[in-house]
Amino acid sequence: MLSIKNLHASIDGTPILRGINLEVKAGEVHAIMGPNGSGKSTLASREYEVTDGEVIFKGKDLLELAPEDRAREGVFLAFQYPVEIPGVSTTNFLRTAVNQVREYRGLEALDAVKFLTMMKEKMKLVEIDQKLLSRSLNEGFSGGEKKRNEIFQMAMLEPSLSILDETDSGLDIDALRIVSNGVNLLKNENTATIVVTHYQRLLDYIVPDYVHVLYKGRIVKSGTKELALELEEKGYDWIKEAVDSEA
C-alpha cells in the first residue's frame, strides 16, 4: 500500500529525514517511535522539501499530489496539533469533505438524509456528542475533544491509510482510549495505520504489527511489539549510543 524509499527531506535547508525506508501493507499497523526531535512529526506531516527518494501510495507518487488529492486517494493525516476553523462546523466541513472524496472515487454524492444516517452510525462508533459536531471545528475544544473529533473525521472519510501523530504528552487515559478504539474499530484487511508515538503506553491499546525507531532522521531499528516494551524499560539511550558510535 505504502512504500517509502530512501526519503531525504529538509526544512529550511537543514536535513531532517536522512534516508527513510518503510513498507506498509494493507491490514498492518505500524508504530513509529523515537526520541524527541528525531523527525517523527516531520515524517507524518510532509511539510518539507524532499531532496531524494520516493513515497508511493497504491502505485501513485504521493509527493506529486496536493494535500486534498492525497485525502481523496484515501490517506488520512491526523495532526499532532489539529487546526481550528472558526465559523465552519464539523458537520459542514465533513459533508463537503466526504462528498469530495466520494466524487473522486466515482461514487454518488450523499444527500442530506444519507449523510445524517452515516453521521449517526459513525458517531456511535467513536462515542462523540452531536453538540460537538455543530460547533466550529476544533474551536475551544479540549485536547480530548479534538482527539475524538479527529477519530470521528477518520471514521467518516474511510481512508485506506491513516497516519496518526500523537502528542508526546498530554494524552489522558480517555483520549488514549478514544484514539485506540477508533483505530481498532476501523482496522480491516484493506486498511493500514501508522501511529506515531513517543511513549509505549498507546501501544497497550493499539497493538502494532511492527515497531520502528526513528533517530536522527533514519529508522535505526525495527521490530514487533516486544521492541516497544524494551524501549519502555530501557529508554532510548542504548539505541542512541549504538547509532552514534557507528557514526
Site for Mg ion, rule CB under 5 A? 36, 40-41
Neighbours of 78 (CB within 10 A): 23
Least Cβ distance, residue 165 to ligand ADP (angstroms): 7
16 makes contact, choosing from Mg ion, ligand ADP, none, with CB < 5 to 8 Å by partner type, with ligand ADP
Is the distance from CB of 147 to CB of 179 less than 8 angstroms? yes
Binding mask 36-65 for ligand ADP (x = CB under 6 A): xxxxxxx-----------------------
- Percent helix, strand and coil across the chain, each to the nearest 5: 40, 30, 30
Residues 101-120 contacting ligand ADP, CB under 6 A: none
- Cell readout for 171 is 494524552
Question: Residues with Cβ < 8 Å from 226, sequence gap 6 or more?
Answer: none
- H-run or E-run covering 23: strand 14-24
Q: Distance (Å, rounded) from C-alpha 210 to C-alpha 227?
A: 9
- Cell readout for 65 is 499530489
Least Cβ distance, residue 36 to Mg ion (angstroms): 5
Q: Is 12 in the site for ligand ADP (CB under 6 A)?
A: yes
Amino acid at 52: D
Q: Is 211 in the site for ligand ADP (CB under 6 A)?
A: no
Q: Distance (Å, rounded) from C-alpha 169 to C-alpha 40?
A: 14
Which is closer to ligand ADP, CB of 126 or CB of 231? 231
Which is closer to Mg ion, CB of 41 or CB of 193? 41
Least Cβ distance, residue 16 to ligand ADP (angstroms): 4
Which is closer to Mg ion, CB of 30 or CB of 95? 30
**Under the rule (CB under 6 A), what is the footprint of ligand ADP?**
11-12, 14, 16, 34, 36-42
